[in-house]
Amino acid sequence: MIKPLKPRFQPILPLAYDDSISYMEFLGKVTKTINALIENINDNLTEYIETNIDELFFNASYDKATETLTLEFEKKNPVIPVLDYYTKEEVDALLRGKANVDNVYTISETDSLLSTKASVVALDTKADRNNVYTKNESNSLLNEKADSDMVYNKTETNTLLNGKADSNNVYTKTQTDTLLNSKANADTVYTKAQTDNMLDEKADSDSVYSKTETDSLLSTKANSNNVYTKGETDTLLLSKANSNTVYTKTETNTLLSAKANTADVYDKNDTDTLLLAKAPINSPALTGTPTTPSQSVHDSSTKIANTEFVVAETESLITGTPEYASGWSTGLTPSLARNGVVAIFTFGVQGGNAVVGWNTIATLPVDFRPKYIFNTAVINNKTDEMLSCRISGDGNVQVYYSTADSSAQVRGTIVYFINK
């Protein structure tokens, strides 16, 4: 395995700017090319040797595990595959124009030497020292600049600025906030058009009474539906007696309020006789055979229940017969009954092949399908362990087993509300 090159370069600024490639860039390109050649060799050499071993050697053997090649006779002329890399001649051509690193100055050393020298070969191609920046001056200036990928160029900046208003034509945020603070929200005021429409329906203040003036005038007047006209009053008075010869309505009512009609009241003796035959409202001790109205079946209010209600309620109990799932048989007489919307299912089954998860043991009749379960007590009859139980919407009674049991036994009672 050939290790790739990992050179380290110190980037610096050139003394003059032109289109020529820098020394660092050239070394970078050469390194990239050599590493690509190394990678290609590492990826393909083993496969190539295995495939072309007979073409490369006579009676040679290659051990892949130990990467050992055993030769017995002379080597053939191998055919080197054309891989994606430079040939030796191409590499030599690239390196031919280069000097050994031991025989040249680095860019930093060269810059340091050249900073005080002028070119004696082609001064006309060099910049005047007074017209160029030194490396330190350039670095100082560049330190104050942002990277090109962090800023907009002039074209991008102009494009963005074209979508903006001049600062002297717009308000700042502070100015805008100040102006808005003195304004009402649009949803809390009327527009001019709305205000004009409302004012068109109003009278001028100098041609109408104010509310206070109107109330003052109306306070001295009676409602027309609450007074008689003069003619109506005269007609009524003709059928009336003079006040000095009759009692007023108030005087009459006062006198009558203290009196009862003799036909409508009992005297004291009659009242006492009647009360002796009555029971008190609070905890009466009734004797004989007292009765009370019969309430409707399934009435669950605080009304008194008589014997007729109790018999009807008992006779209304409805029973049903569940259908047991395949493999399960009843171990005791099941009980399935409902009264109104409440149902009770008591069962005991055995012989079922219980798998891990929910197991259906029985299916309830349609009239006994649940709305929701009120209480359950379901037990593994073999271990006395409580089991989870549920009834699906289609009436399947299911128990949950955490471990399989080929001869399961289950007993329990389920109280639930039915869909009525």
Q: Is 61 contained in some domain?
A: yes
**Most confident residue range from 97-101, 178-182, 285-289:** 285-289
Its domain, for residue 374, covers: 318-418
In the structure encoding, which two tokens stand for residue 205, read together? 């203040």
- Give the end of a domain, one of 160, 180, 195: 160
Amino acid letter, 194: Q
Residue 76: band (very low, low, confident or very high) from pLDDT cuts 50, 70, 90: very low
Averaged pLDDT, 104-108: 71
Q: Is 269 contained in some domain?
A: no
- Give the end of a domain, one of 135, 160, 185: 160
Q: So what's the pLDDT on residue 400?
A: 94
- pLDDT tens for 114-162 read 677 655 444 455 555 666 666 677 667 766 666 666 666 677 777 777 7
Residue 258 has pLDDT above 50, yes or no: yes
Q: Is 176 contained in some domain?
A: no
Q: Is 148 contained in some domain?
A: yes
17-30 core/surface letters (b: 16 or more CB in 10 A; e: else) = eeeeeeebeeeeeb
Q: Is 265 contained in some domain?
A: no
How many folded domains does the chain comprise?
A: 2
* Helix, strand and coil percent figures for the chain, each rounded to 5: 40, 20, 45
SS3 346: strand
CATH code of 348's domain: 2.60.40.1830
Q: Is 294 contained in some domain?
A: no
Q: Strand (E) positions, 229-386?
A: 318-319, 323-324, 329-330, 335-339, 342-354, 357-363, 370-380, 385-386
Q: Is 253 contained in some domain?
A: no
SS3 390: strand
Between CA 11 and CA 111 the distance in angstroms is 12
- pLDDT tens for 307-360 read 877 666 655 667 888 888 888 888 776 788 887 678 888 888 998 899 999 999
Residue 276: band (very low, low, confident or very high) from pLDDT cuts 50, 70, 90: confident
Q: Is 366 contained in some domain?
A: yes
Nearest to 419 by CA among 383, 373, 353: 373
Between CA 382 and CA 351 the distance in angstroms is 11
Q: Give kind and range of the element (H or E) at residue 69.
A: strand 68-70
